[in-house]
């Protein structure tokens, strides 16, 4: 099995807030991340595709195609946007890194698996909210 990763970055604003809870609960739970007037992150996103290289091309996935898919599905909707307000596929999602990696994975899966060689598949989506705070969604590994 070969793992191919494309690394990209984007900037976005967000606020951690659960509208079903009180302002006090939100403030206690999320602290600074609940700031009413938003805050931003320089996110780093790593998308990994796993599979065997195609016999004709030697590729698990053409990285040019992977780049285009990530741009269309994640970067165009999210870069320089407010993740709470402006991204249709994140509607009603509290934009923690945990929820973002799951949402990004679901956004990417179909297009990536169409573009990949035979049995290659989307393996994981990893998001660095800061250098030290990282979330990864990798459903295969849980099996």
What positions carry a catalytic annotation? 33, 80, 129
Cβ atoms 137, 46 nearer than 8 A:
no
CA separation, residue 49 to residues 40, 57, 85, 127 (Å): 28, 16, 30, 15
From the CB of 130, what's the least distance to Ni ion, in Å? 9
From the CB of 14, what's the least distance to Ni ion, in Å? 6
- For residues 92 to 131, the per-residue mask of contacts with Ni ion, x marking binding by CB under 5 A and - elsewhere, is ----------------------------------------
Residues 27-86 that bind Ni ion (CB under 5 A): 33
- Of the two residues 32 and 143, which places its CB atom closer to Ni ion in the complex? 32
Cβ atoms 41, 129 nearer than 8 A:
yes
């Amino acid at each position: 099995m070969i793992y191919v990763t494309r690394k990209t970055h984007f900037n976005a604003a967000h606020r951690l807030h659960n509208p079903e809870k009180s302002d006090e609960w939100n403030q206690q739970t999320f602290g600074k991340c609940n700031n009413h007037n938003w805050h931003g992150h320089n996110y780093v996103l790593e998308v990994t595709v796993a599979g065997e290289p195609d016999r004709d091309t030697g590729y698990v996935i053409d990285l040019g195609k992977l780049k285009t898919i990530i741009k269309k599905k994640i970067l165009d909707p999210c870069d320089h946007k407010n993740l709470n307000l402006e991204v249709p596929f994140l509607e009603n999602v509290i934009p923690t890194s945990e929820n973002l990696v799951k949402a990004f994975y679901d956004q990417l899966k179909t297009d990536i698996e169409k573009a990949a060689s035979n049995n290659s598949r989307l393996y994981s989506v990893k998001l660095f909210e800061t250098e030290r705070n990282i979330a990864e969604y990798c459903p295969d590994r849980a099996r």
